[in-house]
A and B are shown apart, each in its own frame.
Chain A
């Protein structure tokens, strides 16, 4: 068991500055997910923690010990790779036992630990097979088995599910979460998939261009993004951003959309926007914050909005509809049967308490 502390970490590849001054502390037993778009430096950061890359500046401490000068095998970590990294010439048993053999553990211990790990992952019946005889999901289980059998202080996952199809990915995601509950080792998990990040993480570390854009609990990042980038990255479908200008309207602030129309912001938002009249903003409303207006009085901070459903995308549980707000195409997520046909007029309620206002110049959230 160990905490991880990165201080002032920089990594260059030639002229490319891949990691730009990362300070990050991950608590003992925490499940941290490094997430971000391609090229944000998340994999590089993970590989640096593993010792597969040397940082150009900064320190890495695992369990209070600075490990910059330690080789990967001396760091007592286990890592699961995207392409499974199974040895094709070894059986499943030998693949799982590989790390223990490398550390010269006695045979009896290897047998019991491999058996235990295989049991935990439900691959006990596959131990005699070769990797080529396994399906993608089974291979990934073996790869995870090889990591957990080591009882390392720190687990690193480098996009372990991205080679699996959607259904298997859901299944394995659940298993990894359960695994963390069972073995409670510190885990650092890299992914570009925000659903994986949201569902697995105790803490999401969202990276952009080699820097931490924002970190925190999944729902905190989802509900209180600090920048436009965070707001856009998390959530599916993506947040709707509508260009507008703020104006003062009787002790409140209203947003006049550039594309026509306006909306009065609730008191909860107006307070933070004192003196912001005249300012250009992006009004960010998540698709989940739309609902069908029931006809009764709206709760505080909700506004009603009459519109026409353009595209309708049912998913079974929920239905996404495309509507126009302020001249912009926006997506609203409604219940499955809220809208039946294209072109249907509909009365929506928008929860503006949870809307965000973004400065389009700096990209930071102002309210």
Chain B
């Protein structure tokens, strides 16, 4: 029963929930907001006490410096390394996954063994890999990083894509085989379109892994192929930190991921939930 203007218990609980959700959202979004704001502030405003919530006017000089000094090449390097390695990991991984899913390659345990490779802590292997890379002259080049990220992402791609492929009704493939397609055509024209949401979701994750990797990039590059996370660390000095550069670079480094996730959100949600049950 409702009395006068007193909201019902249900309404009050709902209001509390929204309030809680709003508070949490603010809490988590604040650092992102702060990052963006710093990137638009002048040095005076950055160190202003009390802190300024909004800069007096939006100015892009922090970004301009990054472009002028050529620091943004790090972003381009990251794009190339993450993009190319994701592409190869997805193509190779999906083919491997198809083989595991449809021909039961390696019996029941190979898939598990493959994913276990992904669980190795990078720090445990980075120095042996460094020595090997030095021996083969792969240090500080695109090829070395692309090779490494492809190798590191493969198990993940195989594991994820295997789950998606198993879900594709076998009859679709058989029907295509009878209709006149070769096995390769079937993979290209039937399996790929069917697993597209999974493919997109997996690609985003592999891209993000390569994009965010710090430890390998730090050890395996020197001056030529510096990636975005490594470049960022150059702004942390013993004496002082270049907050303006850190913020502007971080924003630039976040944008590609932000764009990718936004554009592919439709697939991502479906892709993630598709793979959720099957493993």
Contacts and interface: CB of A to CB of B under 8 A. Distances in A.
Given A87-B190, A87-B193, A52 B174 contact: yes
Nearest to B174: A52
B214 to A, nearest CB: 39
Interface residues of A, number: 24
A136 interface: no
Nearest to A47: B174
A72 B178 contact: yes
A98 interface: yes
Interface string A132-171: 0000000000000010001000001000000000000000
Contacts, number: 58
A190 B60 CA distance: 72
Contacts of B190: 87
A147 to B, nearest CB: 9
A152 to B, nearest CB: 9
Interface in B31-76: none
B105 interface: no
A79 B175 contact: yes
A85 to B, nearest CB: 4
A102 B181 contact: yes
Nearest to B169: A83
A89 B194 contact: yes
A117 to B, nearest CB: 14
A49 to B, nearest CB: 11
Nearest to B180: A102
A345 to B, nearest CB: 55
Contacts of B174: 50, 52, 72, 79, 81, 85
Nearest to A82: B171
A87 B174 CA distance: 12
Contacts of A103: 180
A142 to B, nearest CB: 12
Contact of B178 (A77, A88, A89): A77
Contact of A102 (B171, B185, B196): B185
Given A85-B169, A85-B171, A98 B178 contact: no
Interface in B158-191: 169, 171-172, 174-182, 185, 190
B178 A52 contact: yes
Contacts of A78: 178-179
A73 interface: yes
A78 B182 CA distance: 15
A81 B193 contact: no
Contacts of B171: 81-83, 85
Interface in B119-160: none
A79 B176 CA distance: 10
B181 A85 contact: no
Interface in A220-235: none
Which one of B171, B194, B196 has the highest number of Cβ atoms from chain A below 10 Å of its Cβ?
A: B171
A217 B190 CA distance: 40
Which one of B171, B180, B185, B194 has the highest number of Cβ atoms from chain A below 10 Å of its Cβ?
A: B180
Nearest to B181: A102
A79 B170 CA distance: 14
Given A79-B175, A83-B169, A89 B193 contact: yes
Given A81-B171, A82-B171, A85-B169, A71 B177 contact: yes
A363 interface: no
A71 B184 CA distance: 13
B193 A73 contact: no
A99 interface: yes
A150 B185 CA distance: 18
Nearest to B183: A71
Which one of A52, A102, A103 has the highest number of Cβ atoms from chain B below 10 Å of its Cβ?
A: A102
B169 A73 contact: no
B8 to A, nearest CB: 41
A150 B193 contact: no
Nearest to A84: B171
B168 to A, nearest CB: 10
Interface string A51-76: 11000000000000000000111010
Contact of B176 (A82, A83, A98): A98
Contact of A72 (B177, B185, B194): B177
A107 B190 CA distance: 21
Contacts of A72: 174, 177-178
A43 to B, nearest CB: 11
Contacts of B181: 73, 102
A123 to B, nearest CB: 18
B194 A146 contact: no
Contacts of A98: 176, 179
Contacts of A52: 174, 177-178
B193 A85 contact: no
Contact of B179 (A51, A88, A99, A156): A99
A79 B178 contact: yes
Given A73-B182, A81-B171, A83-B171, A102 B194 contact: no
A81 B182 contact: no
A85 B172 contact: yes
Contacts of B169: 83, 85
A146 B179 contact: yes
A367 to B, nearest CB: 45
Given A82-B171, A85-B172, A50 B178 contact: yes
Interface of B: 169, 171-172, 174-182, 185, 190, 193-194, 196
27 contacts: A50-B178, A52-B178, A71-B182, A72-B177, A72-B178, A73-B178, A73-B180, A73-B181, A75-B178, A77-B178, A78-B179, A79-B174, A79-B175, A79-B178, A81-B171, A81-B175, A85-B175, A87-B190, A87-B194, A89-B193, A98-B179, A99-B179, A102-B176, A102-B179, A102-B180, A146-B175, A146-B179
Q: Closest 5 interchain pairs by CB?
A: A102-B180, A99-B179, A85-B175, A85-B171, A73-B180
